[in-house]
Amino acid sequence: MIDHLVLGFETAFTPVNLFWCFVGVLAGTVIGLLPGLGSTTGVAVLLPLTVTFEPVTALIMLAGIYYGAQYGGTITSVLISTPGEAASVVTTLDGYQMARKGRGGAALSIAAIGSFFAAILSLILLMAMAPTFARLALNFGPPENLAIMLLGLVTIISFAGDSRMRGLAMALAGIMIACVGVDAGTGLTRFTFDNVNLMSGIPFVQVMIGLFAVGEVLYQIRSGGAQPIRARFRDLMITREELNRSVAPIARGSVIGYILGCLPGAGSTLASFFAYGVEKRVNKRGKEFGTGAIEGVAAPESANNAAANANFVPTLALGIPGGATTAVLLGAFMMQGIQPGPRLFQDEPALVWGLMASFFLGNVLLLVLNLPLAPAFAQLLRIPYGYMYPLILFTSFVGAYSIDNNFFSVWIVFVFGLIGYGMKRLDLPMAPLVLGLIIGPLLEKNLTQTSAIGDGDLSLLVTRPLSLAILALAVGLLIAPAVVRRLRRRPEPETPERDREPVA
């Protein structure tokens, strides 16, 4: 292990690899800032530029774009409620509220700190346990993945606020929207109304831009517009108390992100939602989530960065992409004539360990670049919103169009912008809708596959140990709040009259 680490850092710290790692994280941050692009598109667009590079240099640069975009998406999520990355959607819930209270710099700082420590922890776990986790991931079939999706549905209750019924209704609406397109079991189209643009479903990124960015702008215009932040520069800095409050959420988010990131197909988005839901349940400030709690930024940001690193476990050890971006990176391996899989660690140790060592280097660069700049980024909130609103709308619609070069995407953003505005007026929670959109396709796919494996019998869920354990966890999370409330309401036994102290 030590020999491999030395080899990896020797490879990563060559001048050429240092330079392209810096270029990658910087380009990733900029790409994450642009609504609609995201790490997957960024890596795909810049992939041809790396054809003439050495394999390890190409992969270091492309991986830098991947985790650099995670932080870039956070900046717009916090400052203008416009998630640049799907994994940054949940950060908007508390990050934007912190920004409106003049704490945007603190939100961006804790996102950078949390992402850094999550990356370091996940990197240590990646180096030490990648082969073990890869073998464990092989035991996850459709029944286990279906159980994870059901566990995800349970977390929806955490996003429902004071009204669980409204939250569950929004989640159901999200799942119904996700049903538009081609049926996973029969291959037949449904709810497309003979529109060829809907055959591939309603695109998630465009829905996200419409709900959060356009919906927020319309709501602020209707309510008279938000006032620019007048906070002093030093007021934008993170405080010691906020750091102390964020330690445990960062640790929990990192572990959750790493575990879910190791599972093929789970990705960073699901990890960030899970981490937020768990943190809202276990944190003593859980009732403040959604109003600007710094824990609501620390947990999901740590989770999505840990998941981004953990996505390389199935990619490197099994040759199975951990998410959409690692699927593109898998193509980069193939383009360089390298076959990921169990023998990669033996056949290409310099490449594998050099790539993993570059994660440490890249995250240090991100911390050095972005932590001092967080209060400066937050100064953008001083700009009058009369100038900001047109810019937000312009980047939202241009970003949506650039995804597919199709004007239909612009209409999707516009329609869901109106829906987002209506939801804000009616005080309906958006997070369950978004989580329903994410989980819906995965739930249907794994339900269909589980049913096919069992010839229509879903008892596989309770006969396989792993899926049964996950279901038991879901049931525990579902009933735990009611049990805790019942215990808290239990009256204390009265003190007998003879044991009471006399009153002077």
Instruction: Out of 33-37, 83-87, 298-302, 332-336, give the one with best mean pLDDT.
Output: 298-302
Q: d(Cα 21, Cα 60) in Å, to the nearest integer?
A: 6
What pLDDT sits at residue 265? Answer: 57
- The 10 Å CB-count burial string (b at 16+, else e) for 364-379 is ebbbebbbebbbebbe
What is the percent of the chain where pLDDT is above 90?
0
Using alpha carbons only, give the angle 88, 94, 96 rounded to the nearest 5 degrees: 80
Average pLDDT over residues 21-43: 76
Q: d(Cα 274, Cα 289) in Å, to the nearest integer?
A: 14
Q: d(Cα 269, Cα 258) in Å, to the nearest integer?
A: 12
CA-to-CA dists, residue 493 to 161, 483, 486, 487, 503, angstroms: 33, 19, 16, 13, 20
Confidence (pTM):
0.66
Average pLDDT over residues 27-45: 71
DSSP SS3 for 190: strand
In this predicted structure, the answer to whether residue 258 has a pLDDT above a threshold of 80 is yes
In this predicted structure, the answer to whether residue 321 has a pLDDT above a threshold of 70 is no
In a 13 Å sphere around the CA of 459, the CA atoms on its Cβ side amount to 3
Instruction: Out of 27-41, 45-59, 221-235, 410-424, give the one with best mean pLDDT.
Output: 410-424
For residue range 152-164, list pLDDT tens digits in order: 677 666 555 556 6
CA dihedral 311, 314, 319, 325 (to 10 degrees): -10
What is the percent of the chain where pLDDT is above 70?
76
For residue range 124-163, list pLDDT tens digits in order: 877 777 666 656 656 677 887 788 777 767 766 655 555 6
Predicted confidence band of residue 327 (pLDDT cuts 50, 70, 90) = low
What pLDDT sits at residue 200? Answer: 80
Residue type for 72, please?
G
For residue range 208-255, list pLDDT tens digits in order: 778 877 887 787 777 665 555 555 556 567 778 888 888 888 888 888
What pLDDT sits at residue 13? Answer: 82
Q: Residue 485: which residues within 8 A CB-CB, separation 6 or more?
A: none
What pLDDT sits at residue 37? Answer: 61
What pLDDT sits at residue 504? Answer: 45
Structure tokens at 227: 């006032």
List, in sequence order, the alpha helices (H) in 34-156.
Answer: 38-46, 55-80, 91-100, 104-138, 142-155
What pLDDT sits at residue 342? Answer: 61
CA end-to-end span of the chain: 72
Predicted confidence band of residue 450 (pLDDT cuts 50, 70, 90) = confident
Block residue for tokens 């209707």: 222
Instruction: Out of 32-41, 173-182, 215-224, 317-326, give the one with best mean pLDDT.
Output: 173-182
Predicted confidence band of residue 269 (pLDDT cuts 50, 70, 90) = confident
For residue range 159-198, list pLDDT tens digits in order: 555 566 777 788 888 888 888 888 766 778 888 888 888 8
Structure tokens at 351: 């490449």
Q: d(Cα 463, Cα 321) in Å, to the nearest integer?
A: 28
Burial of 487 (C-beta count, 10 Å sphere; 0-12/13-18/19+): exposed
Q: Identify the bridge partners of residue 248 per DSSP, sorted by sequence position.
A: none
Average pLDDT over residues 473-487: 69
In this predicted structure, the answer to whether residue 481 has a pLDDT above a threshold of 70 is no
Q: Identify the bridge partners of residue 190 per DSSP, sorted by sequence position.
A: 181
In this predicted structure, the answer to whether residue 485 has a pLDDT above a threshold of 60 is yes
- Find how far residue 388's CA is from the centre of its chain: 26
Mean pLDDT of the chain: 76
- Find how far residue 199's CA is from the centre of its chain: 26
In this predicted structure, the answer to whether residue 496 has a pLDDT above a threshold of 60 is no
For residue range 428-443, list pLDDT tens digits in order: 877 678 777 877 777 8
What pLDDT sits at residue 472? Answer: 84
Compare 474 and 133 and report the one with higher pLDDT: 474
In a 13 Å sphere around the CA of 210, the CA atoms on its Cβ side amount to 25
DSSP SS3 for 189: strand
